[in-house]
Amino acid sequence: DADVTQTPRNRITKTGKRIMLECSQTKGHDRMYWYRQDPGLGLRLIYYSFDVKDINKGEISDGYSVSRQAQAKFSLSLESAIPNQTALYFCATSDRASGGAPYNEQFFGPGTRLTVL
Amino acid sequence: KNQVEQSPQSLIILEGKNCTLQCNYTVSPFSNLRWYKQDTGRGPVSLTIMTFSENTKSNGRYTATLDADTKQSSLHITASQLSDSASYICVVSSFSGGYNKLIFGAGTRLAVHP
């Protein structure tokens, strides 16, 4: 089974609808992240969380909100979807940095393709 | 501004040939540089990770180099296979605030043809 799973894998919705994307992980990692990927651009960070009580904005958080319900679950919501939120969304996890070690790698889910009409 | 630029944007090669992908970055402070492979419809998967003091790292037919002075990296693929068709993403980490912030390049889309 995949370590990081995302649901749904594909979603088509209309402008103004509320959408929730779910992410679950079995890696036991404390840290979870949401990114979006647009054609011709690198992945951009939307929100990240270091534990259940911690939520931090990334570089493009406007129009999004998140919820960290448990260590293993991190959901992304679009309260009122708009067409320019059409993108590929990735969840990622990482272990906490140990002693400042720079190697704490992020592991990505398979992505959710969201289309807003 | 922290940036990662990759070239070429896309590349087509014949099976069995070698190729080299380029990455230039302006990221500070620098923590490490990673190359990811992203198959169509999948999330990125790490190929190599290099810190400031490492200038070469291999993973099978993939060899990454890092020149921290010129802030350039390359990914060399030897004896390409059809399964190498994917996007290759250069990612530079900047460690601050207790975690590695990742700055992503836009990727190079590689197509390997028989």
pLDDT of residue A2: 67
Strand partners, A66: A76
Of A90, A97, A103, the CB nearest to B49: A103
Beta-strand (E) ranges in chain A?
4-7, 10-13, 19-25, 31-37, 44-49, 56-57, 65-70, 73-78, 87-94, 107-108, 112-116
B106 vs A42: CB contact, 8 Å cut-off?
yes
Mean pLDDT value across chain B: 93
Mean pLDDT in residue range A18-32: 94
User: CB of A64 within 8 A of CB of A78?
Assistant: yes
Count of beta carbons in the 10 Å neighbourhood of residue B53 = 7
How much is the average pLDDT of A76-102?
84
Write the pLDDT tens digit of every residue in B23-74.
999 998 888 899 999 999 899 999 999 988 889 999 999 999 999 999 999 9
Lowest mean pLDDT among A6-10, B52-56, B97-101: B97-101
Q: Quick check: B104 and A42 CB within 8 A?
A: yes
Instruction: Tell me how close the Cα of B102 comes to any Cα of chain A, in angstroms.
Output: 8
For A92, name the nearest residue in chain B, comparing CA atoms only: B43
Chain A interface residues facing chain B, Cβ-Cβ under 8 Å?
4, 31, 40-45, 48, 50, 90, 92, 94, 97, 100, 102-106, 108-111
Contact of B114 with chain A, judged by CB distance below 8 Å, is answered with no
Q: Do A104 and B32 touch (CB under 8 A)?
A: no
Question: With 90 as the cut, is the pLDDT of residue B88 above it?
Answer: yes
Chain-chain contact of A110 with B106 (C-beta, under 8 angstroms): no
Q: Could you report the per-residue pLDDT of A94-110, keeping only the tens digit for each?
A: 887 654 445 568 899 99
* Contact assignment for B43 to A110 by CB distance below 8 Å: yes
pLDDT tens per residue across span A41-76: 999 999 999 889 899 999 899 999 999 989 999 999
Chain A's closest residue to B34, CA to CA, is A105
Beta-strand runs (E) in chain B: 3-7, 10-14, 19-26, 32-38, 45-51, 56-59, 62-67, 72-77, 86-96, 99-104, 108-113
